């Protein structure tokens, strides 16, 4: 029996593990991917307090090593469902069932997809959601980025330094990223932006890999853009399927929590990007993780 199970090892989960370990809670942190969450896919971070500039991978490793150095208990696993009976949570993975007095969901988000023709077929065959992972593959080639927010623009800056030509497909009339990022991108000479344009379908080449995309502008005009790679940055879906039946999420799947990170189910907390919240940044995720553990402690004291 654990005092606390933390689901997810991103910034929120790792911070929660640090605070829980220091509070001597019998805790296990379960993660199905690489520790660090989505920040491992971020080329550069310069807005996390205390670090002027570092890669997302380095920050993730620092956080993970910090938690491990304190003795945090880490386990690889994919949580399928969570139930609660008689004040005890059962966290069920493909191979194990963990019992706990409290649970923090810090499982983050996964990228949305466009749902257009040939997208599914071309996953890992030209379509990617991680520029830092796959960008070097397309050095000297033509690529496409879909999206116009912070992730799209920041990763476009990185890609522009590698590729021959970068085309950005944005469905709005302007880019919505931070002004500084847009200013940096505007200085790149090998970038073209198509505004108020949507991807109609992806094209499959003779080798079964991506050959380009057909896009449609606001007037319905179709244009074919040849490219060897596509990077999609069109938003995210929260990973909360494991609590779908517990009535703690909104219609989009984001967890409904109060300022204490508590849900309507006593002992169940949410932290980080899975929450319904205004800003999703590393600094707010770590804050959520710390707050959640402090209120887990209060819950456990009242429970016992």
pLDDT (tens digit, 9 = 90+) per residue, 77-109?
999 999 999 999 999 999 999 999 999 999 999
pLDDT (tens digit, 9 = 90+) per residue, 120-137?
999 889 999 988 888 999
Average pLDDT, whole number, for the chain?
95
Q: Are 30 and 6 in contact (CB under 8 A)?
A: yes
In three-state secondary structure terms, 212 is strand
Is 197's pLDDT higher than 90? Answer: yes
Q: Are 10 and 289 in contact (CB under 8 A)?
A: no
pLDDT at res. 139: 96
Is 11's pLDDT higher than 90? Answer: yes
**Residues ≥6 apart with Cβ < 8 Å to 297:** 23, 25
Q: In which residue are the tokens 């779908």 written?
A: 244
Is 304's pLDDT higher than 80? Answer: no
**Residues ≥6 apart with Cβ < 8 Å to 301:** none
Share of the chain above pLDDT 90, in %: 86
pLDDT at res. 39: 87
What's the alpha-carbon Rg for the chain, to the nearest Å?
A: 21
> What does pTM read for this prediction?
0.82
pLDDT at res. 130: 86
pLDDT (tens digit, 9 = 90+) per residue, 35-50?
998 888 777 788 899 9
pLDDT at res. 260: 98
Query: DSSP letters along 163-198, please?
Result: SSEEEEE-SSSS--S-HHHHHHHHT-TTEEEE-SEE
């Amino acid at each position: 029996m654990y005092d606390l199970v933390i689901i997810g090892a991103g910034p929120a989960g790792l911070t929660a593990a640090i605070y829980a370990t220091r509070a001597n809670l019998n805790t296990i942190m379960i993660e199905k991917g690489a520790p660090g969450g989505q920040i491992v896919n971020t080329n550069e971070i310069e807005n996390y307090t205390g670090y002027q500039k570092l890669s997302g991978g380095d920050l993730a490793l620092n956080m993970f090593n910090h938690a491990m150095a304190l003795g945090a208990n880490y386990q690889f696993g994919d949580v399928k469902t969570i139930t609660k009976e008689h004040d005890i949570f059962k966290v069920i993975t493909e191979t194990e069932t963990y019992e706990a007095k409290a649970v923090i969901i810090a499982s983050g988000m996964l990228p949305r997809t466009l749902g257009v023709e040939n997208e599914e077929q071309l996953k890992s065959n030209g379509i990617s959601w991680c520029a830092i992972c796959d960008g070097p593959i397309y050095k000297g080639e033509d690529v496409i980025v879909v999206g116009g927010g912070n992730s799209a623009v920041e990763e476009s800056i990185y890609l522009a330094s590698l590729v021959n030509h970068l085309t950005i497909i944005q469905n709005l009339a302007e880019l919505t990223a931070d002004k500084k990022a847009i200013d940096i991108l505007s200085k790149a000479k090998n970038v073209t932006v198509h505004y108020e344009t949507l991807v109609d379908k992806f094209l499959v080449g003779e080798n079964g890999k991506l050959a380009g995309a057909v896009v449609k502008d606001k007037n319905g005009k179709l244009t074919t853009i040849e490219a060897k790679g596509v990077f999609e940055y069109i938003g995210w879906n929260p990973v909360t399927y494991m609590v779908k039946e517990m009535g703690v999420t909104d219609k989009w799947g984001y967890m409904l929590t109060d300022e204490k990170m508590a849900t309507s189910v006593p002992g169940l907390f949410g932290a980080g990007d899975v929450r319904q919240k205004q800003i999703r940044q590393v600094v707010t995720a770590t804050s959520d993780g710390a707050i959640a553990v402090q209120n887990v402690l209060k819950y456990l004291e009242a429970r016992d």
